[in-house]
Amino acid sequence: MFKKVLIANRGEIALRINRACRELGVKTVAIFSEPDRESLHVRHANEAFCVGPGPVARSYLSIPNIISTALITNCDAVHPGYGFLAENARFAQICADHGLTFIGPTPEVIGTMGDKATAKRVMREAKVETTPGTDILESVDKARRAAKDLGYPVLLKATAGGGGKGMRVVTGPDELERAFAGAQNEAESSFKDGRLYMEKLIVSPRHIEVQVLGDNFGNVVILGDRDCSVQKPSHQKLIEEAPAAHLSEKIRNSLYAMALRAAQAVHYTNAGTLEFLVSGDHAYFMEMNTRIQVEHPVTEMVYNIDLVKEQIRIAAGEALGYTQSDLRPRGHAIECRINAEDARNNFAPAAGTLTNVVFPGGPGIRVDTHIYSGGTVPPFYDSMLAKIVAFGETREAAIARMERALRETVIEGVNTTIQQCLEVLATDAFTSGHYAIDFLPGLLRQADAA
Amino acid sequence: MFKKVLIANRGEIALRINRACRELGVKTVAIFSEPDRESLHVRHANEAFCVGPGPVARSYLSIPNIISTALITNCDAVHPGYGFLAENARFAQICADHGLTFIGPTPEVIGTMGDKATAKRVMREAKVETTPGTDILESVDKARRAAKDLGYPVLLKATAGGGGKGMRVVTGPDELERAFAGAQNEAESSFKDGRLYMEKLIVSPRHIEVQVLGDNFGNVVILGDRDCSVQKPSHQKLIEEAPAAHLSEKIRNSLYAMALRAAQAVHYTNAGTLEFLVSGDHAYFMEMNTRIQVEHPVTEMVYNIDLVKEQIRIAAGEALGYTQSDLRPRGHAIECRINAEDARNNFAPAAGTLTNVVFPGGPGIRVDTHIYSGGTVPPFYDSMLAKIVAFGETREAAIARMERALRETVIEGVNTTIQQCLEVLATDAFTSGHYAIDFLPGLLRQADAA
Amino acid sequence: MPGNNVVERVRSLVVAFLDTDLVRLRIERDGGHVELRRARSRSATPELAEPQAPDAPPENVDAIKSDLVGIFRFSRPLPQTGDMVDSDRELAYVEALGIRNPVRSIGSGRLVSVCCDDGQPVEYGQTLFEIQRV
Amino acid sequence: MPGNNVVERVRSLVVAFLDTDLVRLRIERDGGHVELRRARSRSATPELAEPQAPDAPPENVDAIKSDLVGIFRFSRPLPQTGDMVDSDRELAYVEALGIRNPVRSIGSGRLVSVCCDDGQPVEYGQTLFEIQRV
């Protein structure tokens, strides 16, 4: 086991990693930016070093200062958490170059999965279903034939694209020519590369993801699924649950089989998540996150496994202590993300001083948070304040528990998503478990119209 | 199911009951004393009524005001929690007389178990082992013969006794005459009744208790055991765990069998706990608590059962939804009681304003508390501020988790038992699981001597 | 609480009270209470005295509070704001567990507010009436 | 941040600053900073001026801070308290990832404190030296 781990993150996930380390008897080094000096993750670590000012580029993304901190404190490993440097293959490689174990998969796997085109190709080779699509389309005629083959609606995408630039939804042949020209022009002006390809548009899909864990000895286990379809219009997740409701055994088995093939194909090590779009009887691979996810606690609760401890054990060279058949999920868990955001104003992030903070407790409630009464929310970072997780023997019990927990929660000083989460929990769509990724945007439009 | 429940308590247990009710869709009415107006249990209930001033005799023990509150708010049931009126048979009867369901066993069973002599007799009839002892001893000679039969050390006790008055430990025949006279005089002057009886003194026993649950249809289940041997010199529990460590299968089976016979003998309904002294291969019944215990969360964590919801369901006339063979404990849970007390000064209780309160979170941690930053601790009540419960797959993992959770906990404004709990956790006796009820008093004497 | 101690406590309370801007201080504890009222300030110059604001609480007003939990009911004749009341007038009763517990004016004065409706549930310590002592 | 806005902000900052008892105010933000210092008060009468208390911070002192994380090492000649330093004197270096990053006096003055030991790990923003500008 490691002697000392540098936690290259802030906020609740830095605390989460600190907890796992302390419980394993591993010492910790926190890094922090100047406005985070009074943060709990700083207070709870064995040592803490300021690595830069507020802006992330000069602190939590400052690879030289982070590596230097790890070296002068004699750390033997680095846990990147999520966000920041967690999926930066170069950072993973630099850690290795300095004799530090990066707690995550290899730089090669991070690189492969980080490049969406390469990831899709690798997945197809591993017989994982990906969204049907084409190669580069040289002309509108070729696009027309491709769309007919795929079936409308389709999505035109710029091969150099990103951030929605050079992307067009095409619902029928009438729109194709105009959409093609528009996308081409936009791609040309944005990326100086007007080449387009086409994908089938999956209408009203569910976002279902599968948790995998692989050790350095070729053992891979699947730790079930999570439904993360309650997403803001920006596609950021707001509420997640495990397991996904109303998922047919056929789809579930197919998802698990694909995830296992994918992990084995790339010799995946450590924790990772395969994200799928599920529509009807089809599941399409979207991307793989080569890190711990924000929503990992729901899986921990139904599997009674500490995923972050598992990450550390695996990175330290330990073999998984169980096989797939030992793993039995139990009950149901739901997570609500409590963000410093104004849900009535397009989830605009808020910063400020927290005048009063009271979290819920009692049976089946887990709270992961870095905030406290009198603390501040700096303007530089992710707006997530807390994750409230509720466990119940049944999905219904978990929802009832989450509702009472949210009603117990007090956060004064900034706007939060508590009320928005309560509104979601009260809908028929959510209580019945029949919802897809267009659910929350639709609910918000209704609220705006009312 | 009930429509509305009156919660006849305060503090964390009032919140605990409120949570169970809310999750079951049952409305709640809180009662409170004047200094408790800003308490969380008041804030979270659907309705709340002040029933008197600070002193308990005029508020939380004011049966007329409590019953009147239940009636004018149209409650159909009353949950007494623990302490206050929880084991008051008369209160249970008054509830029934006013058409209110008392969430607990029948007044008759509460009365039987509340009278220690009757309880012991009933237990012996049910073939439950009780501390060996005698009837009234008319003379020193009879006492000498009885002591020889029982084997020294023995305990002389006043039949009218209480609070340690008229009680003497006798370690050998030389001390008997003097002890008999002393106890007799003390009993005579304290109770105007000098009659004495004798019990075998159990040296350095463990306090092990068994949780039972019975419904109104004769079904009884055993929900395992708890070790509550970490007790202050006043015999108040400080740390509890489930299951008890190093309990032989023989003793465990015997405890469960006795608990089952006892519960069946009195047709026990609702939640109850049988407390035993365990010494070597022997277990002696001490008393039965006919209510929910402070330490119930450790059982909830290893059995994944909500005991307070079960209490409510049973009282509402539902049958247990499982049998003994469905119940499988898993892992290990430890509870630390965080009291407003000065452990360095004989656990003297403290009152005041809480200037800063931060509770631990993350995986496997449960916090039951009514306190918050800026709240007050009135001088009138029990000094318990919070229960921190840690779950782990193994006892070792639970201890490591508890330790990190206690280190994360911040309570400023009053002295607390956090440091004392950490000191216990660090001892060889506790980590090895080999400790008895004289463990904490011995540790405190060592600290005083040092 | 020994007698001497009480005297000492009240003395230090008075000293502390005179050091404040308060005109009235009432401390309730364990069923007893102490009340201090400041005499009209001798140093206040008449020129500076302003007419009392309309929403300022009238002076010498006692709250008649409920000492139990129950349903509030008016007694007859119906007490009304402005009524002059006798020293032991029964204004209302609080019904609890089938018993009518009378609410009396405890001293005479003018009824300045009726704080509850007939049939309303009331809690311990809830103000039922306010009476201006004359 | 548009230029006009900056001027406006500084103006209101100056107004607020003059309203306080502060003699120096430094605000750092996003890598930039604003510093305000009060001229010797014209209204201060010499009779009232007391000798400076021994533990009061000396005026016109700049902290030389580390802008990276590493191991602090003195340069030669060994800088000592009381030394007069030139405008670009290399006082020490912070070694990080095998690179020696020099720490300079950034302007001349008298070295009033040496805040770190040789070989000590230092963090971003940690004060290494204090220099009194003359």
pLDDT tens by residue, B351-398? 999 999 999 999 999 999 999 999 999 999 999 999 999 999 999 999
Phi, psi of C97 (to 5 degrees): 50, 40
Q: How far is CA B401 from CA A329, B398, C1, in A?
A: 22, 5, 47
Give buried/exposed letters for B328-361 (b at 16+ CB in 10 A, else e): ebebbbbbbbbbbbbbeeebebbeeebeebbbbb
Identify the CA nearest to B138 among candidates B190, B195, B189.
Answer: B195
- Residues C94, C128 share a domain: yes
Give B210's pLDDT tier (boundaries 50, 70, 90): very high
Residue A73: pLDDT band (50, 70, 90) is very high
Closest chain B residue to the Cα of C70, Cα to Cα = B68
Segment A312-327, tens digit of pLDDT: 999 999 999 999 999 9
- The partner residue sitting opposite A373, judged by closest CB among B23, B44, B373, is B373
Do D67 and D101 fall within a single domain? yes
Asked whether the beta carbons of residue B68 and residue C97 sit closer than 8 angstroms, the reply is: yes
pLDDT in the model for residue A145: 95
Distance (Å) from the alpha carbon of D105 to chain A's nearest alpha carbon: 21
Alpha helices, DSSP H, located in A115-175: 116-125, 140-150
Mean pLDDT, rounded, for A33-43: 96
* B42 touches B36 (CB < 8 A): yes
Tens digit of each residue's pLDDT (9 = 90 or more) over B405-450: 999 999 999 999 999 999 999 999 999 999 999 999 999 999 888 7
What is the reported pLDDT for D33?
54
Distance from first CA to last CA of chain B, Å, rounded?
57
Nearest to B65 among C28, C124, C126 (CB): C124
Dihedral sign for Cα atoms in the order A283, A284, A288, A289: negative
How close A360 comes to chain B (CA, Å)? 8
Phi, then psi, of B396 in degrees rounded to 5: -60, -45
Is the same domain home to D65 and D32?
A: no
Residues of chain D in contact with residue A71, where contact means CB-CB under 8 angstroms, are 97
Query: Does a structural domain hold residue C45?
Result: no
Q: What is the pLDDT of residue A116?
A: 77
- Selected residue with higher pLDDT from B136 and B360: B360
Residue A234's pLDDT is what? 87
DSSP letters for B91-147: HHHHHHHTTPEESSS-HHHHHHHHSHHHHHHHHHHTT--B--B-S-B-SHHHHHHHH
pLDDT computed for residue C14 by the predictor: 57
Taking only residues 325 to 364 of chain A, the set having a beta carbon closer than 8 angstroms to any beta carbon of chain B reads: 330-331, 356-359, 361-364
Contact criterion met (CB < 8 Å) for B362 and A393: no
Six-digit token string for A196: 């387009």
Tell me the pLDDT tens digit for each residue of B234-277. 889 999 999 999 999 999 999 999 999 999 999 999 999 999 99
Task: Select from A38, A358, A387 the residue whose CB has the most chain B CBs within 10 Å, as the one to mutate to test that interface.
Answer: A358
Q: Residue D120 above 90 pLDDT?
A: yes
C-beta of residue C16 within 8 angstroms of C-beta of residue C32: no
Task: State the CATH number of the domain containing residue D124.
Answer: 2.40.50.100
Q: Which of B52, B67, B73 shows the shortest C-beta gap to C124?
A: B52
D21 and D80 part of one domain: no
pLDDT digits (tens, 9 = 90+) for C106-128: 889 999 999 999 999 999 999 99
Identify the bridge partners of residue C30 per DSSP, sorted by sequence position.
Answer: none
- What's the confidence (pLDDT) of residue D103? 96
Size of interface A-D (CB pairs under 8 A): 48
Distance from CA of C53 to the nearest CA of B (A): 31
- Which residues in chain A have their CB less than 8 angstroms from residue B373's CB? 356-358, 372-374
Residue of A34, A48, A36, A46 lying closest to A11 (CA atoms):
A36
Cβ contacts (< 8 Å) between A34 and chain D: which residues?
Answer: 124-125
The predicted-structure confidence for A222-277, as pLDDT tens digits, reads as follows 999 999 999 999 889 999 999 999 999 999 999 999 999 999 999 999 999 999 99
Q: Are residues C79 and C128 in the same domain?
A: yes
Mutate to test the interface with C, among B33, B46, B72 (most CBs of C within 10 A): B72
Buried/exposed code over B66-87 (b: 16+ C-beta within 10 A; e: otherwise): bbbbbbbbebbbbbbbbbbbbb
A157/A169 Cα distance (integer angstroms): 9
- Pair D70, D105 in one domain: yes
C85 domain-assigned: yes
Distance CA B107, CA B87 (A): 9
Q: Are residues D114 and D72 in the same domain?
A: yes
Q: How far is B338 from chain C (nearest CA, A)?
A: 28
Contact present, B and C (at least 3 Cβ pairs less than 8 Å):
yes
What residue of B is the nearest CA neighbor of C122? B49
Q: What's chain A's average pLDDT?
A: 95
Shortest Cα–Cα distance, C39 to chain B (Å)? 30
How many Å apart are CA C110 and CA C95, to the nearest integer?
A: 25
More confident residue, B165 or B341: B341
A139 burial type by CB count under 10 A (0-12 exposed, 13-18 middle, 19+ buried): exposed
Alpha carbon of C122: minimum distance to chain B alpha carbons (Å): 8
What is the pLDDT, as a whole number, of residue B297?
A: 98
- Whether the CB-CB separation of B337 and B294 falls below 8 Å is answered with yes
* Alpha-carbon distance values, B367 to A24, B303, B386 (Å): 21, 17, 7
**Each residue of A120-168: pLDDT tens digit?**
899 999 999 999 989 889 999 999 999 999 999 999 988 876 667 888 9
Question: Which residues from chain B sit within 8 angstroms of residue A367, using beta carbons?
Answer: 361
Q: Per the confidence metrics, is the pTM higher than 0.80?
A: yes
Cβ contact D121–A71 (<8 Å): no
Contact between B50 and C71 using a beta-carbon 8 Å cutoff = no
Nearest to B306 among A23, A363, A366 (CB): A363
What distance in Å separates the CA atoms of residue D116 and residue C116, rounded to the nearest whole number?
71
| Closest CA in chain B for residue A21 | B404
Which residues in C lie closer than 8 A to residue B58 (C-beta atoms)?
A: 31
Q: Is D65 within 8 Å of A34 (Cβ atoms)?
A: no
Distance CA A11, CA D87 (A): 41
Q: Is residue D51 a part of any domain in this protein?
A: no
Question: How far apart are alpha carbons B2 and B4 in whole angstroms?
Answer: 6
Beta carbons within 8 Å of C90's beta carbon, 6+ residues apart = C75, C102, C103, C104
Please count the helices (runs of H) and the strands (runs of E) in chain C.
1, 10
Determine the residue among D124, D126, D127 to mutate to test chain A binding: the one whose Cβ has the most chain A Cβ atoms within 10 Å.
D124
Binding-site residues on chain C for chain B (CB distance < 8 A): 28, 30-31, 68-71, 96-97, 121, 123-126
Instruction: Please report which confidence band the pLDDT of residue D134 belongs to, taking 50, 70 and 90 as the band edges.
Output: confident
Rg for chain D, CA atoms, rounded: 18
pLDDT of residue C46: 36
Is D45 part of a structural domain of the chain?
no
Q: Do the two chains C and A touch, given a threshold of 8 Å on CB pairs and at least 3 pairs?
A: no
Tokens of B108: 């008759």
- Of all residues in chain B, the one with the smallest CA distance to A300 is B363
Instruction: Flag if D125 and A34 touch (Cβ within 8 Å).
Output: yes
CB contact under 8 A, C121 and B49: yes
C95 domain-assigned:
yes
* Same domain as D78, residue D128: yes
The whole-angstrom distance between D91's CA and the closest CA on chain A is: 21
Whether residues D117 and D65 share a domain: the answer is yes
Q: What is the pLDDT of residue D59?
A: 75
ipTM: 0.81
Tens of pLDDT along A384-443? 999 999 999 999 999 999 999 999 999 999 999 999 999 999 999 999 999 999 999 999
* Of B291, B313, B395, B401, catalytic: B291
Instruction: Indicate if D66 and D11 belong to the same structural domain.
Output: no
Two structure tokens written together for B213: 């649950």
Q: Best of B65, B67, B73, B78 to disrupt the C interface by mutation (most C CBs within 10 Å)?
A: B65
Task: Let me know: does A351 contact A371? Beta carbons within 8 Å.
Answer: no
Please give the Cα distance from B354 to B222 (Å, whole number): 39
Q: Give me the pLDDT at residue D16, please.
A: 57
* pLDDT tens sequence for chain C (134 residues): 334 454 455 555 555 555 555 555 555 554 455 555 554 333 333 333 344 445 555 678 999 999 999 999 999 999 999 999 988 899 999 999 999 999 999 889 999 999 999 999 999 999 999 999 87
**Residue B102, beta-bridge partner list:** B78
Reply yes or no on whether A144 is catalytic. no
Contacts of A355 in chain B (CB under 8 A): none
Query: How many contacts, defined by CB atoms under 8 Å, are there between B and C?
Result: 47
Q: What are the chain A neighbours of B16 within 8 Å (beta carbons)? A: 362
Number of domains in chain C: 2
Catalytic residue from among A10, A168, A291, A313: A291
Q: Are residues D21 and D74 in the same domain?
A: no
Give the residue from chain D lying closest to A31, CA to CA: D123
User: Whole domain around residue D10: which residue ranges?
Assistant: 2-37
- The 10s digit of each residue's pLDDT in A356-391 is 999 999 999 999 999 999 999 999 999 999 999 999
Å between B186 CA and nearest CA of chain C: 29
Among residues D119, D124, D120, the alpha carbon closest in space to that of A48 is found at D124
Maximum alpha-carbon separation in chain A? 65
Inside any domain, residue C53: no
pLDDT, position C41: 35
Q: Would you say residue C54 lies in a domain?
A: no
Q: In chain B, which residues touch C (CB < 8 A)?
A: 34, 49-55, 58-59, 64-69, 71-73, 98
**d(C-alpha A433, C-alpha A183), whole Å:** 37
pLDDT of residue C44: 35
Q: Is residue C42 part of a domain?
A: no
Please answer yes or no on whether A400 and B24 come within 8 Å at the CB atom.
Answer: yes
Rounded Cα distance between D27 and D20, Å, is: 15
Residue D37 has pLDDT above 70, yes or no: no
Task: Give residue C12's pLDDT.
Answer: 58
Facing A69 at nearest CB: one of D30, D69, D125:
D69
pLDDT for residue B4 is more than 50: yes
Same domain assignment for residues D73 and D109: yes
